[in-house]
Amino acid sequence: MQDFLQTLPKVELHLHIEGSLEPELMFALAQRNGIELPYATVQEAKDAYCFSDLQGFLNLYFQGMSVLRNEQDFYDLAMDYFRRAREEGVVHIDMHFDPQAHLQRGVPLEVVMAGLLKAKQEAEESLDLSIGMIMAFLRDRPAEEALHVLEQAAPYWKMLDAIGLDSAEKENPPSKFVDVFERAKQLGLVCVAHAGEEGPAEYIKEALELLNVERIDHGVRCLESEEVVERLRREQIALTVCPLSNVSLKVVEDLRDHPLPKLLSEGLKVTISSDDPAYFGGGMLTNHLACAEAFGWDKAVFRQLTRNAIEEAFTTQQRRDELLRRLAAI
């Protein structure tokens, strides 16, 4: 099974590039940029990666990314993850990035975009990896700010595959961002949003109805509403489920208690992603291996999950067909 899961042409639809920052790279970038970290050693940083909920994680996440200052830093961040993902047999990544988290530290959007786009181009040319770009907005920040950033991103609109909505879900319902998502739709951008992770099933319904999202990031709490499950099933809306993230953030106590098998048996279009691999215990292969162990899934289940992700990936039809052929060949 380990060999099969390594070879499986895995597609990751839910990955925050800032959450792929490993402590080793964080230290290297801190040194390069003359930034003082609150940790003396890499091990001390790893030991501090301890949180019990989404807010606890977000505090560390925003602190960690303070080392990202220049174009080269964003390039190094992305390439470091792309190489690791490729080693784990990942062939496509839809990458979320958080411009507001950098703008509020005084890092211009141009710096972020230049570094990430350079890494994307290089990975697509040399790593047998395709990359989708999702500009995400921080839902715990004001909606007006998100709208302003979306306008500011005009030079990059044609390079974006979608906009997303992430960060602290509680008390920040999708309805807060109706104007932002309406504007994105006008611009021809696809919309996705985190919903139903810490927030209730109602937020999934809102994201679908008010924000017109094409897929739901996480969405595991849909099971609390038969109406929402029915709609997700009928419209085959993809859920980007992140098993080890859900364990780390205590959405479930143990992976064996995770609703993944239930989501599948309900006929929902489930996919597997790593979310923030540097913080949640591993990348795509680790997530797949953990699911194999916790749920005893056979190869057919993993093939189905991968087919779901390939069908939904932000890529060209040519690349999609190629990935489907590769999946059929293993």
Q: Shortest distance, CB of residue 106 to Zn ion, whole angstroms?
A: 25
Q: Shortest distance, CB of residue 180 to Zn ion, whole angstroms?
A: 18
Q: Shortest distance, CB of residue 20 to Zn ion, whole angstroms?
A: 12
71 or 196: whose CB is closer to Zn ion? 196
**From 113-121, 254-262, 267-275, 319-327, span contacting Zn ion (CB under 5 A):** 267-275
Active site residue 197: yes
Q: Shortest distance, CB of residue 51 to Zn ion, whole angstroms?
A: 14
Pick one of 275, 280, 283, 306: the residue that binds Zn ion (CB under 5 A): 275
Q: Shortest distance, CB of residue 226 to Zn ion, whole angstroms?
A: 25
73 or 275: whose CB is closer to Zn ion? 275
**From 4-12, 111-119, 148-156, 274-282, span contacting Zn ion (CB under 5 A):** 274-282
- Please state, in angstroms and rounded to a whole number, the distance separating the CA atoms of residues 182 and 242: 27
Q: Shortest distance, CB of residue 240 to Zn ion, whole angstroms?
A: 8
37 or 131: whose CB is closer to Zn ion? 131
Q: Reduced to 3 DSSP states, what percent helix, strand and coil does the chain have, rounded to the nearest 5?
A: 55, 15, 30
178 by DSSP, 3-state: which? helix
206 or 275: whose CB is closer to Zn ion? 275
**From 21-29, 48-56, 84-92, 273-281, span contacting Zn ion (CB under 5 A):** 273-281
Q: What token pair was written down for 284?
A: 């795509």
Q: Shortest distance, CB of residue 12 to Zn ion, whole angstroms?
A: 11
Residues in contact with 187: Cβ distance below 8 Å, sequence separation at least 6, in sequence order: 150, 157
9 or 219: whose CB is closer to Zn ion? 219
**From 4-12, 102-110, 272-280, 319-327, span contacting Zn ion (CB under 5 A):** 272-280
15 or 30: whose CB is closer to Zn ion? 15
Neighbours of 182 (CB within 10 A): 15
Q: What token pair was written down for 172?
A: 């920040």
Which of 222, 288, 244, 191 lies closest to 57, judged by CA? Answer: 244
What secondary structure letter does DSSP report for 257? G
- Report DSSP letters for 10-24, one per residue: EEEEEEEGGGG--HH
194 or 320: whose CB is closer to Zn ion? 194
Q: How far is CA 192 from CA 41, 115, 181, 213, in A?
A: 37, 23, 9, 5
Q: Which of 88, 169, 197, 202 is catalytic?
A: 197
SS3 readout for 24-40: HHHHHHHHHCCCCCCCC
The number of CA neighbours under 13 Å toward the Cβ of 261 is 12
**From 57-65, 155-163, 177-185, 268-276, span contacting Zn ion (CB under 5 A):** 268-276
Count residues binding Zn ion (CB under 5 A): 1
- Report DSSP letters for 272-307, one per residue: E--BSTTTTT--HHHHHHHHHHHH---HHHHHHHHH
Sort residue 157 into left (φ over 0), alpha (ψ -120 to 50) or beta: alpha
Instruction: Give the nearest residue (CB) to Zn ion.
Output: 275
The reply to whether 73 sits near Zn ion by the rule CB under 5 A is: no
Q: Which residues are annotated as catalytic?
A: 197
Binding site for Zn ion (CB under 5 A): 275
